[in-house]
Amino acid sequence: MTGRAVSANRDTTLLQQLAEQVRRMALCRPLLIAVDGLNTYLSVFRNAFRTGLPRSKGQTGRMTLVEWPNIAIVQVIKSKQAGVLNIKRVIIQGQQAMIEQIIQATQGKGMINTAYIERLNATFRQRLACLFRRTRHLARHQMTLQTSMYILGCVYNFCDFHESLRLRLSVGWHGFRWVQRTPALAAHLTDHRWSLQELLTTKTPPPPWIKKQGRGRLPSRLLLRRARYGF
């Protein structure tokens, strides 16, 4: 599954928004997070995947923050000296055995790398004209880019089959066949591949309204929503 956050600058606020999306999508299973040489990634993701333990009775001071045991964070640092590219791979959090197991399960083979996110960046640049390098199709407003990336991310997750997610299904004496899957299918969010028409016409109800304590008449927009959706 993909997440996205848009900002004019790659700062801490932007990275915190992205880390929060990854946290909400993370399941109770081992997860490998690979980042590049920007050290802000490390502090942001480590803070996102830590949980505070309640203090004991009578204990004062700040609560203890415990790292999630099934989260591994690695960093790939690239540098060039005298025309030679040097790549340094550092394990920030997690055990070597767990990292190798995740790589084996997701890639089959290989080493610590950021190839998946780079491939995703190439997909976004290929499909969204304003992300081309040296392009004339600029997004003049941040909302335009944010909305476009949201739609593109939905298409990527719900409408596109991914070769890396396909399953090998045995069919007896006839051998096997590949079962294609989208990221949404792999995450058990849907039971079929969505078409573009289905994606763009599906109506998503707003979140349930929670009545606040107080007196007075409800605003007209809440009365209209209650009449339409029943809450």
Residues 174 and 106 in one domain: no
**Residue 171 above 80 pLDDT?**
no
Decide: residue 156, CB within 10 A, 0-12 exposed, 13-18 middle, 19+ buried: buried
> Is residue 185 situated within a structural domain?
yes
3-state class (DSSP) for residue 198:
helix
The one-letter code for the residue type at 70 is N
> Is residue 147 situated within a structural domain?
no
**Token pair in block for residue 229:** 């959706």
The one-letter code for the residue type at 24 is R
Which pLDDT value is given to residue 24?
A: 83
Residues 2 and 102 in one domain: yes
> Is residue 61 situated within a structural domain?
no
Q: State how far the alpha carbon of 32 is from the alpha carbons of 71, 73, 100, 103, 106, in Å.
A: 6, 6, 10, 8, 10
Q: Which residue has the higher pLDDT, 172 or 11?
A: 11
* Number of domains observed in the structure of the chain: 2
**Residue 218 above 80 pLDDT?**
no
Decide: residue 44, CB within 10 A, 0-12 exposed, 13-18 middle, 19+ buried: buried
**Strands 176-179 and 167-170, bridge-based pairing:** antiparallel
> Is residue 151 situated within a structural domain?
no
Residues 87 and 181 in one domain: no
12, β-bridge pairs:
none
Residues 104 and 180 in one domain: no
Q: What is the DSSP letter of 218?
A: P
> Is residue 183 situated within a structural domain?
yes
pLDDT digit string (tens) for 28-71? Answer: 778 889 888 888 999 999 999 988 877 777 777 777 888 888 89
> Is residue 59 situated within a structural domain?
no
Show the domain range for 91: 1-51+66-113
> Is residue 125 situated within a structural domain?
no
Residues 38 and 104 in one domain: yes
Residues 1 and 105 in one domain: yes
Q: What is the pTM of this model?
A: 0.69
Residues 203 and 98 in one domain: no
pLDDT digit string (tens) for 20-32? Answer: 888 887 777 788 8
d(CA 41, CA 189): 28
pLDDT digit string (tens) for 131-165? Answer: 887 888 888 888 888 888 888 889 999 999 988 88
Residues 99 and 5 in one domain: yes
Tell me the pLDDT band of 1, cut-offs 50, 70 and 90: low
Tell me the pLDDT band of 229, cut-offs 50, 70 and 90: low
**Token pair in block for residue 156:** 């990527």
Q: 199: which residues sit within 8 A by CB, 6+ positions away?
A: 154, 155, 158, 159
Q: What is the DSSP letter of 172?
A: G
**Quick one: residue 100, left, alpha or beta (phi over 0 = left, psi -120 to 50 = alpha)?**
alpha
Judge contact between 23 and 48, C-beta under 8 A.
yes
Residues 102 and 2 in one domain: yes
Residues 106 and 196 in one domain: no
Residues 100 and 196 in one domain: no
> Is residue 201 situated within a structural domain?
yes
The residue from 113, 128, 150 where one domain ends is 113
Contacts made by residues 20-26, CB under 8 angstroms, sequence distance 24+: 20/48, 22/48, 23/48, 23/49, 25/1, 26/71
